[in-house]
């Protein structure tokens, strides 16, 4: 009998405080949803971040912040960092502990699009995502110092065809 009376009193108390109870339930539901959403987003961002560039153990650059170097060389976000000297690149290339080395020079642009200066090592060793090689829709990788490869979006936006000449500018502005 005492259990039935206790349950009856509890139900009456809950009914009397139904608005506060509804508000607490809504707040808890929103909090848990937000917490799980942030955790899911965090996990997805980390997965996306780690799968952006594959098979790379080390990024070497001139003195700057580590995050700045990573964001600019891999994601092309932020301002250009200083370049290392070519003699430093050559010394690194001779180091037996290094399997392969891809030089990347940033800071120039083509009509507001960032330019990546590199050499024939880039298409041979660069991987993104889950070990995917960069591919060409048409044409061939650069063979000469003045050859360029345009990204599909840039070529489409400026109506370029294979063999067109382009003029690069120093800095990030639209020139």
Residues 120, 86, single domain; the answer is yes
In whole angstroms, what is the distance from residue 104 CA to residue 45 CA? 25
What is the 8-class DSSP label of residue 132? Answer: B
Residues 88, 146, single domain; the answer is yes
Residues 138, 81, single domain; the answer is yes
Residues 110, 162, single domain; the answer is yes
**Is 83 inside a domain boundary?**
yes
Spell out the per-residue pLDDT of the chain, length 175, in tens.
688 888 888 888 888 888 999 999 999 999 999 999 999 998 888 777 666 666 677 788 878 777 777 777 777 777 777 778 889 888 988 998 888 888 888 878 888 888 888 888 888 888 777 777 888 888 888 877 788 888 888 888 888 888 888 888 877 666 5
Predicted local distance difference test score (pLDDT) of residue 29:
96
Residues 35, 110, single domain; the answer is no
Q: Which strand (E) or helix (H) includes residue 105?
A: strand 105-110
**Is 175 inside a domain boundary?**
no
Residues 70, 25, single domain; the answer is no
Residues 99, 22, single domain; the answer is no
Residues 140, 71, single domain; the answer is yes
**Is 133 inside a domain boundary?**
yes
Residues 94, 151, single domain; the answer is yes
Predicted local distance difference test score (pLDDT) of residue 143:
77
Predicted local distance difference test score (pLDDT) of residue 35:
96
What distance, in Å, lies between the first and last C-alpha atoms of the chain?
Answer: 87
Q: Which strand (E) or helix (H) includes residue 40?
A: helix 18-50
Number of domains present in the structure of the chain? 2
**Is 58 inside a domain boundary?**
no
90-119 b/e with 16+ CB inside 10 Å = b?
A: eeeeeeeeeeebebbebbbbbeebbbeebe
Report the predicted TM-score, pTM, of the whole model to 2 decimal places.
Answer: 0.60
Q: Domain range spanning residue 94?
A: 66-170
Residues 35, 76, single domain; the answer is no
**Is 33 inside a domain boundary?**
yes
**Is 61 inside a domain boundary?**
no
Residues 78, 147, single domain; the answer is yes
Residues 46, 117, single domain; the answer is no
């Amino acid at each position: 009998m005492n259990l039935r009376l206790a349950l009856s009193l509890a139900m009456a108390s809950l009914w009397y405080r139904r608005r506060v109870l509804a508000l607490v339930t809504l707040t808890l539901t929103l909090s848990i949803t937000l917490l799980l959403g942030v955790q899911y987003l965090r996990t997805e961002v980390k997965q996306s971040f780690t799968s952006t560039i594959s098979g790379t153990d080390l990024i070497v650059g001139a003195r700057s912040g580590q995050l700045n170097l990573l964001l600019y060389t891999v994601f092309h976000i932020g301002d250009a960092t200083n370049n290392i000297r070519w003699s430093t690149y050559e010394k690194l290339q001779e180091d037996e502990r290094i399997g392969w080395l891809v030089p990347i020079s940033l800071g120039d642009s083509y009509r507001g699009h960032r330019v990546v200066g590199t050499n024939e090592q880039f298409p041979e060793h660069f991987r993104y995502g889950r070990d995917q090689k960069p591919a060409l829709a048409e044409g061939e990788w650069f063979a000469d110092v003045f050859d360029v490869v345009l990204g599909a979006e840039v070529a489409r936006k400026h109506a370029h065809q294979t063999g067109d000449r382009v003029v690069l500018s120093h800095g990030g502005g639209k020139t």
